[in-house]
Amino acid sequence: MLRITSSDKFISSRFILEYSKVEFASLLGVSVAKISNIENGKSAIPPVYNYAINYLLSEHPFKESAIEALCSHITLDFARRIDVNSKVKRLSCKRCDGRRLHVMAGMNGLYFVECMDCKH
């Protein structure tokens, strides 16, 4: 089981699971303010959230790469590049609207996304 004990891992897991703060709060049954407090480091992460996130990751289509990314030590830099106050929209291909996307880290903090369906 992956342990989500820091705000950067919490932010990164929410981003990987493609949930906005509102959706994630609704899923966990808490307020958006609680999610914001966790992501800003003002509140501890309850253990039950670890179980919920691990369950959601176990059903993720790219489970292995998602868990590998969360186990790495780059989540702090990754989380800092994400504006934690903005909503994370569900990612999909602009051409075919497919959701099977492959995210590749590039240089200088850039990420490249390739659709696995239409290769756009």
In DSSP terms, which residues pair with 105 in a beta bridge?
Answer: 111
Mean pLDDT of 26-48: 90
What pLDDT sits at residue 79? 57
Whole-model pTM: value is 0.62
What is the band of 87 on the pLDDT scale with cuts at 50, 70, 90? very low
Cα–Cα nearest to 41, from 80, 74, 98: 80
Does the pLDDT value for residue 34 go beyond 90? yes
- Identity of the highest mean pLDDT range in 6-20, 72-86, 98-112: 6-20
Mean pLDDT of 61-79: 72
Does the pLDDT value for residue 18 go beyond 90? no
Query: 101 to each of 54, 79, 92, 117, how far by Cα in Å?
Result: 21, 20, 7, 8
Q: What are phi and psi of 93, to 5 degrees?
A: -70, 135
Query: 16 to each of 61, 69, how far by Cα in Å?
Result: 11, 9
Q: Side chain identity at 36, as an amino acid letter?
A: S
What pLDDT sits at residue 33? 92
Mean pLDDT of 95-107: 73
Mean pLDDT of 77-103: 63
As a whole number of angstroms, the distance between CA 43 and CA 94 comes to 37
As a whole number of angstroms, the distance between CA 77 and CA 100 comes to 25
Does the pLDDT value for residue 67 go beyond 90? no
Mean pLDDT of 52-75: 79
As a whole number of angstroms, the distance between CA 51 and CA 34 comes to 17
